[in-house]
Structure 1
Amino acid sequence: MTWIFGYGSIIWRPDFPYAERTLAFVANHTRRFWQGSPDHRGTPTSLGRVVTLVPEPGEVCWGFAYRVPHDRVDEVMAYLDHRERGGYIRISVPFHRASSVCANPLHNMGPAIESITYIAAPDNEHYLGPDALPRMVRQIASAEGESGRNADYVINLATHLRDMGLEDPHVFTLAQAVREAVASPVVQAKVLEALEQEAKERARLIHCASNLYTRAQLDDTNML
C-alpha cells in the first residue's frame, strides 16, 4: 500500500489519482519556507520560496495523506518526481491519521503508517534556509514561475491550513506580511527598490572580489 504525505501545495492541488485521503500529521517535524524554487514559483535567477519539512522535536506538521491505487503507483511517482524536481528528494516518513485537528496530537497518537514525501535537504543547490522576515517577503513578493506568483502559493497555503482549523505561526505570519506587500503599491515600490539595491551590492562585491583576485595574480607574477 502506497501513501503520499502532502504538506504544501499537495494539500489543495494533488493532481494525481488517489483512492483515499485522510487528515494526518508527521511527528517531530515542522513546515518552513526554506527551499528556493527555480521553476514553479521562481526562476534560477530569482528564486521563490516554498516549503520543506524540517526536523523539530515536539512539533507536528499537519497535512493530508493520500493512498494511491496499486495500479497507478508508477504513474503517480513519475509525476511527483517531475513535479518536485527543483531540489527535493523522496523520503519515507511515518504519519499518523487524525479524525480532526487537536491541540496535543503527540499525546494521543494512533499507529504510524509509512508514507512517501518530498523534502529539500540543506545540501541541495537551491536551499535558502531561514532569513529575516522582510527579506523573505521581498523575495516572495517579486518571484514568479511556471506555476504562478510565489505570493499566491504562500497565501493559498495559509488559507487552506486555516480552513483545516490549523495553527501555523510561521506560515501565517509570512502570508500576512506577503499579502500586505503585494496589496500596497507603496510597499511594492519599496520591495523593488530594495531588490535593486541588493543586486547592486552583489555586483559591487563581485567586482571587488574580481579586482582582488586580479591584483593577487599580478603580485604572484611580479614575484617570479
Structure 2
Amino acid sequence: MSRADSGERWVFGYGSLMWRPGFPFLERQHATLHGRRRAFCIYSVHHRGTYERPGLVLGLAPGGAVRGKAYRVAQADWPATYDYLREREQPTETYYESSTSLRLADGRRVEALTFLSDVKHPQWAGVLSLERQCELIAGATGLSGRNVDYVRDLVEHLRAEGLRDRAMERLLAMVEAREAAT
C-alpha cells in the first residue's frame, strides 16, 4: 500500500463509510475509483439480514466507475482505524482488502485501502435485476437494522453529497412501495 511521506494512509468509502466513517481522519474528499461500480451484490446475513432471511448490502462489483469518499488517516491513528474497519467490514469476510488507485476531487491520485467484493464468496449475489433486489431487501432485518433503511440512507446521503444514482433511487422507490403494500 502506497503511503504519503508522513506515513498517512487513505481509505475509500462507497456506502455507509461515506456518511458514517467511525474513525478519525485528517482529510475527506470526493474520489472516483475506476473499474468497479456500486451494487447491491452481497447477501447480508449479519448487518441487514439473517441466514434464514438474507438481505442485500453494497459491494464493489467489477466494471464501471464509482464515486465515493476518500479519507486520509494519520499514521498514529492507522492501527486502531484498520482494526475498526476489519471488524466493521469483514464480519463474514465477503470482501477482500485491496490497495486501489483513486482520483481525488482536487486531481491528486492516491492509493487507498478499499474493500472489494469477493465474487467467489458464497454470499456473492452477483448481478441481480432490480425486481430481485427489491424482493430480497423488502422486509429483511439484521443486527444493524432494516435493510430498506440502509438503501434509504444511501440514496439520501448520495443526494446530500451531490451524487445521483438513479438505479438506487428506483430501487428505493420499489422497496418502499412493496413494504407499504404488506
* 1:156 Cα deviation from its structure 2 partner: 0.7
- The question of 1:123 aligning with 2:130 is answered no
- The question of 1:35 aligning with 2:27 is answered no
Which structure has the highest strand share of the two? 2
**Count of aligned residue pairs for this structure pair:** 173
Structure 1 residue ranges without an equivalent (≥5): 100-109, 189-224
Q: State the Cα deviation string for residues 154-175 of structure 1 (Å, max 9, x = none).
A: 1110111112121223212211
Hey, what does 2:135 align to over in structure 1? 138
Q: Which is bigger in relative contact order (C-alpha 8 A, separation at least 6)?
A: 2
- The question of 1:65 aligning with 2:70 is answered yes
Hey, what does 2:102 align to over in structure 1? 95
**Which residue type is aligned with residue 150 of structure 1?**
N
Which structure has the highest helix share of the two? 1
Does the 8 Å contact 1:41/1:146 carry over to 2? yes
- TM-score, normalization: structure 1? 0.73
Does the 8 Å contact 1:23/1:98 carry over to 2? yes
Hey, what does 2:24 align to over in structure 1? 17
Structure 2 residue ranges without an equivalent (≥5): 1-7
Q: What is the percent sequence identity of the aligned residues?
A: 36
Q: 2:111 aligns with which of 114, 118, 126?
A: 114
Which secondary structure state, in structure 1, belongs to the residue aligned with residue 38 of structure 2?
A: strand
**Which residue type is aligned with residue 25 of structure 1?**
T
Does the 8 Å contact 1:155/1:179 carry over to 2? no
- TM-score, normalization: structure 2? 0.89
